[in-house]
């Protein structure tokens, strides 16, 4: 992943998001913002995640109606749309997964954060659950492999039986033909 898509450090993340460092830390700790630590232990964020954070609202007066849902009305974290919206990169990860490439190899190959690949993989699995009957789906292919192997084994066994029967028939037929040929040869010699 190119360097401009990554943001290193709390302060830089806060600047890109237009929020305070404390706000960024709270979002990260709550799991609403994904980061990874680099080799130096510095938190690294995807720029797209930071840019897509909703704007900070000024505090409302107690008599003002709420413009956003309260805590009891908010969606649970696991039902929220993932923060990472980089559709092109998500599509590339999906293509790699369809091709059977392991997630850790995708991280190395695409130079993207493991958290992004984990998120993409989770979405991929959810979508695969919806399309298990598609032949191009590797998860469906793996799930259907045993059934397909059993079916092929049954066909192979019946084919093997047919081949054995044909061999027996042909050997009897060949023996009969050889007997007839010998009989004809004997008549020709005698004749």
Looking at residue 84, its pLDDT comes to 44
Looking at residue 9, its pLDDT comes to 92
Looking at residue 58, its pLDDT comes to 57
Residue 177, exposed/middle/buried by CB under 10 A (0-12, 13-18, 19+)? exposed
Looking at residue 2, its pLDDT comes to 52
Looking at residue 54, its pLDDT comes to 77
Looking at residue 10, its pLDDT comes to 92
**Whole-angstrom Cα distance, residue 94 to residue 14?**
30
User: For the chain, percent helix, then strand, then coil, each to nearest 5?
Assistant: 60, 5, 35
**What residues contact 80, with CB distance under 8 A and at least 6 apart?**
32
In the numeric block, which tokens belong to residue 180? 């007839």
Looking at residue 29, its pLDDT comes to 86
Tell me the residue ranges of DSSP E strands in 13-105. 35-37, 43-46
Do 7 and 45 touch, CB atoms closer than 8 A?
A: yes
Provide the phi-psi class of 110: left if phi over 0, else alpha when psi is between -120 and 50, else beta.
alpha
pLDDT tens sequence for the chain (191 residues): 455 788 999 999 988 888 888 888 888 888 888 888 889 999 998 988 888 887 766 555 666 655 555 554 444 444 444 444 567 888 888 888 888 888 888 888 888 888 888 888 888 888 776 655 445 555 545 555 666 666 767 777 777 777 777 777 777 777 788 888 888 888 888 87
């Amino acid at each position: 992943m190119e360097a401009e898509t990554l943001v290193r450090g709390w302060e830089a993340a806060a600047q890109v998001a237009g929020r305070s460092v404390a706000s960024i830390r709270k979002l990260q700790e709550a799991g609403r913002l994904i980061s990874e630590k680099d080799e130096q232990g510095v938190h690294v964020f995807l720029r797209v995640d930071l840019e897509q954070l909703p704007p900070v609202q000024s505090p409302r007066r107690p008599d003002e109606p709420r413009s956003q849902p309260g805590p009891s009305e908010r969606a649970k974290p696991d039902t929220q749309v993932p923060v990472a919206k980089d559709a092109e990169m998500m599509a590339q990860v999906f293509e790699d997964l369809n091709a059977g490439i392991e997630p850790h190899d995708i991280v190395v190959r695409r130079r993207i954060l493991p958290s992004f690949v984990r998120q993409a993989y989770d979405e991929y699995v959810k979508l695969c659950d919806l399309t298990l009957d598609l032949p191009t789906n590797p998860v469906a292919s793996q799930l259907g492999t045993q059934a397909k192997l059993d079916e092929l084994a049954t066909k192979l066994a019946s084919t093997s039986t047919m081949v054995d029967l044909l061999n027996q028939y042909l050997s009897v037929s060949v023996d009969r033909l050889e007997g007839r040929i010998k009989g004809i040869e004997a008549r020709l010699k005698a004749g």
